Amino acid sequence: MFPFKTSFTLDRKISKPLYLQLSNQFIQLIKEQKLPPKTKLPGSRTLAELLNIHRKTVVASYDELILQGWIESVAKKGTFVHSNLPLLHQTEFSKSNFTSEKQKTGFFFYKNEVFTSKNIIKDEAVMYLNDGVSDGRLTPIEEIARTYRRITNKKNVFNHLGYNSPYGNEKLRGVLVNYLNETRGLQVAKENVLITRGSQMGIWLSSQLLLKKGDVIVTGETNYASATTTFKNQQAIIKIVEVDENGIVTDNIEAICKKQQIKAVYVTSHHHHPTTVTLSAERRIHLLNLSTQYNFAIIEDDYDYDFNYNHAPILPLKSHDTNGNVIYIGSVCKTVAPVFRVGYLIASKEFVDEAASRRKIVDRQGDELLELTFADFIHSGDLDRHIRKVMKIYKQRRDLFCNLFSKELNAFFQFEKPKGGMAIWAILNKKYSWKQVVKEAQKHKLIIGDFNRYDMGNLKHNGIRIGFASYTEAEIYELIFRFKKTMFAIKDSL
Amino acid sequence: MFPFKTSFTLDRKISKPLYLQLSNQFIQLIKEQKLPPKTKLPGSRTLAELLNIHRKTVVASYDELILQGWIESVAKKGTFVHSNLPLLHQTEFSKSNFTSEKQKTGFFFYKNEVFTSKNIIKDEAVMYLNDGVSDGRLTPIEEIARTYRRITNKKNVFNHLGYNSPYGNEKLRGVLVNYLNETRGLQVAKENVLITRGSQMGIWLSSQLLLKKGDVIVTGETNYASATTTFKNQQAIIKIVEVDENGIVTDNIEAICKKQQIKAVYVTSHHHHPTTVTLSAERRIHLLNLSTQYNFAIIEDDYDYDFNYNHAPILPLKSHDTNGNVIYIGSVCKTVAPVFRVGYLIASKEFVDEAASRRKIVDRQGDELLELTFADFIHSGDLDRHIRKVMKIYKQRRDLFCNLFSKELNAFFQFEKPKGGMAIWAILNKKYSWKQVVKEAQKHKLIIGDFNRYDMGNLKHNGIRIGFASYTEAEIYELIFRFKKTMFAIKDSL
């Protein structure tokens, strides 16, 4: 007979009811066919005695197993393992080593080399270079949390807890329309606004609607790597156009248009990513005219709008777009803190409607409570106050960073002090390679990251972006110090 | 000469600085070529007098325009509109009627008929049927908001405000592993967990990795409409299999496998969506064995796990998955409140890694503060307490709803009282049509919604889901009353 007494481990100390522990262990035995189909089970009184538990526990457990279809009760005969249950097959690897299940998959799936995803575990003693990100320590987290709390305390909060519009919260859409029309010269209405989780969702949605396999999109070379990755994912053909000190060369775009239909141009007009140059007025108009003449969309990713140190921000292309050709993408994540995933896509109503329906398929809706919080944060002027506050700090950091970088690392790099943004574009002298630098820097506890993403077209320009905004003055000194040690170590080894 | 005096409207009352108002209005005039290239601009003193503003304002404005490249300063000659600026072309429709821009797009983009996205404006006096959703009024919003506040008050909160892991917060991953292993019999580790924005993102990610154009996925008919839409979006071939009172008919899946390679089976094993039946133990094992034998993935969407009124929840297929074939998808949105977009996808490490990298392309990362809030909410036992509380209420509502529905509408519908979930599956007698019912119900202020989504395979079963959990007892009486008026009005008109 089956060793019922020793086959179960019941633990009164855990929160799971005993009857459930018992039935789940029965299921395990049944599916492994240690208790094969038609096996007669002991009566409830017998099993209760064997296991030293109350009879009612066994009865509840048997009831549960009958309900779930694992065992069956036959009148006047007793309780049996269900007669039709097949044996659950296990492959050899899963039998021999259960932990391997965590690694293995029993089916084929598509992998895509254009994506990488590393889970970096941070180390306090190490400094990390970044791409130009804000300093989390300056986030007005108290104001934001207070506003969030106030919103959840409202009597009508329940109206915001259910399934909501995939377009985003109505109030935030309205506040954004006023804010962007006033500050950026747009002339749009609520129906032109889709709230997203950040710029990346805007880029993805645009590429979903604009690009199918073989469609042509134009980007600069260099270009923002995540955008390029997104377009590659759509299997689009990416035509690369030169970027000079006035931004993307629109004459080259015109030359392409004369030969073939393009679907879109992706542009970071206000501080080209990664080189930080600004698209000139002449080219802005030229690009808008080309889009009208050749019927293509302009995806304008205005990630850097708020950050301008020498003069007022430059109005986006969207502010001159009277023909509905510009899809304008931005976010508050970059300005406030990346954790707050609130961004926007602004386009004609018909484009926004279609984008909203695509958005539903990956992410049913946004976070209405967070959206309400940011509607308040923008409407009250807190966002503008925050921007003014951090701009002063980032300007000081830029000046210090650029002075030190120039003074200490002049022999190794070429760079221009940027007029805006949160990063410099540092070009390493050709006699050195970033591979060397990354390797040596690690010894000095400086992590540089993936430098290849700045040269996806293999131009060998030897440049990377180095963010300055997220470091305090003391950290800037330390960072330059480590950089200097790195470069001199390389120089000495040559 | 150009009428400079009357061409500008400067307003001292708005927050935008005067010099910016002036330069933006200059830009407008220049791009419309009202001020054509090479036009000489008045000196700063002259313009200041004409406009009755300080000369410094004009100087600042000219500096700005020079920086942006709209005008140029020629030594000893003066200031001119930039000579190379092209005219910004406007199409006829944009010239004649600016508001049309909000509707029109100047380029082609792909529309997709499988998606619909309506922005429903709710009316208090009207009752809306739903698919089976929780009652927002029972959300433990105070506990959640308090936890959120506590997390944002922590000293180390700044570590959570930046760019984070696309896998989701580490703490929540750990808490979920313990919670799911203990309550649902899974045997997974942190590396098997990807935090998503809800089940829909999990379904989308799975379909991205499993399905390319022409690949085969099996679903039940009937099926959850959003899942079907997602698979169609991948241009997959959807093979439809019968669903009976024991769930999806696995013998039919086997028949398909014998003929062709399938990539995946999508299954809502614990209360089939929409018909609410439970997949039997026998079929569970059969399906798992088929997936091993024929190397396909099982996408198990366990949206209804927490809601079982008659017995303990049934362990998911994933709890028996020793071969790494089951992709397990769930969310806390459905259980707590849809506004909290926190869900999970659980699979082998290699699948999760790939899914994380795809997730980045639509949605860089989740909301770390919300994820920490839910880590706490689950770990503290608050989630379980909440479930126990609402389960009692939903059970009462189910009982009342089913009793009334049966008593008052017996002549028109066939339905079974469901053992779990938040909806019934109501089959309308064949002599009536839902089209009729929807139309008549509107007159009685009852909005039924899109009934077609329950019959995407055109089986003409005449069934729809009707949620009961979100209504109070008084609302249930009112809802059934309106339904009854609707049905008798139709009957009388026949």
Q: What is the ipTM of this complex?
A: 0.88
Closest residue to A348, CB basis, from B31, B105, B264: B105
Cβ distance of A106 and B291 shorter than 8 Å: yes
Rounded Cα–Cα distance for residues B108 and A261 (Å): 11
pLDDT per residue rounded down to tens, chain A (494 residues): 788 888 898 888 877 788 888 988 998 888 878 888 899 999 999 999 999 999 999 999 998 888 888 899 998 899 999 887 877 776 654 444 444 445 577 788 888 766 655 555 567 789 999 989 999 999 999 999 999 999 999 988 988 998 889 999 999 999 999 999 888 888 899 999 999 999 999 999 999 999 999 999 999 988 999 999 999 999 999 999 999 999 999 999 999 999 999 999 999 988 899 988 889 888 999 999 999 999 999 999 998 888 888 777 788 999 988 889 999 999 988 889 999 999 999 999 999 999 999 999 999 899 999 999 999 999 999 999 999 999 999 999 999 999 999 999 999 999 999 988 999 999 999 999 999 999 999 999 999 988 988 988 888 999 999 999 999 999 999 999 999 999 999 999 88
Instruction: Judge whether B316 and B302 are in contact, CB under 8 Å.
Output: yes
Architecture in CATH for domain B140-384: 3-Layer(aba) Sandwich (3.40)
Instruction: Quote the distance between the C-alpha of residue A128 and its chain's center.
Output: 19
With residues binned 3-state (H G I as helix, E B as strand, rest as coil), the percentages for chain A, rounded to 5, are: 45, 15, 40
Closest residue to A152, CB basis, from B141, B296, B341: B141
Cβ distance of B281 and A350 shorter than 8 Å: no
**Count of Cβ atoms closer than 10 Å to residue B128 Cβ:** 15
Cβ distance of A152 and B136 shorter than 8 Å: no
Cβ distance of B115 and A358 shorter than 8 Å: yes
Q: For residue B82, what is the nearest residue in chain A, using CA coordinates?
A: A282
For residue B365, the chain A residues in CB contact (below 8 A) are 338, 341
Selected for mutation to probe chain A from B91, B226, B322 (highest A CB count within 10 Å) is B322
Cis peptide before A222 (omega within 30 of 0): yes
Q: For residue B281, what is the nearest residue in chain A, using CA coordinates?
A: A69
**Count of Cβ atoms closer than 10 Å to residue A196 Cβ:** 27
What is the DSSP code (8-state) at residue A453?
G
Cβ distance of B115 and A311 shorter than 8 Å: no
For residue A77, give every residue at least 6 positions away whose Cβ sits within 8 Å of its Cβ, in sequence order, or none.
none
For residue A271, the chain B residues in CB contact (below 8 A) are none
For residue A288, the chain B residues in CB contact (below 8 A) are 88-89
For residue A105, give every residue at least 6 positions away whose Cβ sits within 8 Å of its Cβ, in sequence order, or none.
B297, B324, B325, B347, B348, B350, B351
How close does chain B come to A302, measured CA to CA in Å? Answer: 16
- Per-residue pLDDT at A309: 87
For residue B235, the chain A residues in CB contact (below 8 A) are none
- Per-residue pLDDT at A103: 56
Cβ distance of A85 and B149 shorter than 8 Å: no
Over residues B399-453, the pLDDT tens digits come to 999 999 999 999 999 999 998 899 999 999 999 999 999 999 999 999 998 898 8
Q: Count CB pairs under 8 A between chains A and B.
A: 396
Helix axes B55-68, B44-51, angle to 10 degrees: 120
Cβ distance of B161 and A141 shorter than 8 Å: yes
Q: Torsion angle, CA of A255/A259/A262/A265, rounded to 10 degrees? A: -10
Per domain, the residue ranges of chain A are 4-81, 127-137+385-493, 157-380
- Per-residue pLDDT at B89: 76
Options 3.10.620.30, 3.40.50.1820, 3.90.1150.10, 1.10.340.30; CATH of B127-137+389-493: 3.90.1150.10
Cβ distance of A282 and B85 shorter than 8 Å: yes
For residue B353, the chain A residues in CB contact (below 8 A) are 117
How close does chain B come to A210, measured CA to CA in Å? Answer: 5
Rounded Cα–Cα distance for residues B88 and A54 (Å): 86
For residue B204, the chain A residues in CB contact (below 8 A) are 361-362
Q: Which residues of chain B have pLDDT under 70?
A: 90-103, 113-122
Instruction: Judge whether B80 and B41 are in contact, CB under 8 Å.
Output: yes
Instruction: Judge whether B22 and B40 are in contact, CB under 8 Å.
Output: no
Strand order across the B343-346 sheet = B193-196, B343-346, B326-331, B297-301, B264-267, B216-221, B237-244, B247-248
Rounded Cα–Cα distance for residues A299 and A254 (Å): 16
Topology given in CATH for the domain delimited by A127-137+385-493 = Aspartate Aminotransferase, domain 1 (3.90.1150)
- Per-residue pLDDT at A93: 46
Selected for mutation to probe chain B from A192, A362, A374 (highest B CB count within 10 Å) is A362
Rounded Cα–Cα distance for residues B278 and B275 (Å): 9
Alpha-carbon Rg for chain B, nearest whole angstrom, is 31
> Would the CATH topology of A4-81 be identical to that of A157-380?
no
Closest residue to B69, CB basis, from A70, A280, A357: A280
How close does chain A come to B437, measured CA to CA in Å? Answer: 24
- Per-residue pLDDT at A121: 57
Helix axes A250-259, A281-294, angle to 10 degrees: 10
Architecture in CATH for domain A4-81: Orthogonal Bundle (1.10)
For residue A368, the chain B residues in CB contact (below 8 A) are 339
Q: How far is CA A76 from CA B144, B176, B235, in A?
A: 53, 45, 55
Q: For residue B165, what is the nearest residue in chain A, using CA coordinates?
A: A119
Rounded Cα–Cα distance for residues A424 and A404 (Å): 13
Cβ distance of A149 and B148 shorter than 8 Å: yes
Architecture in CATH for domain A157-380: 3-Layer(aba) Sandwich (3.40)
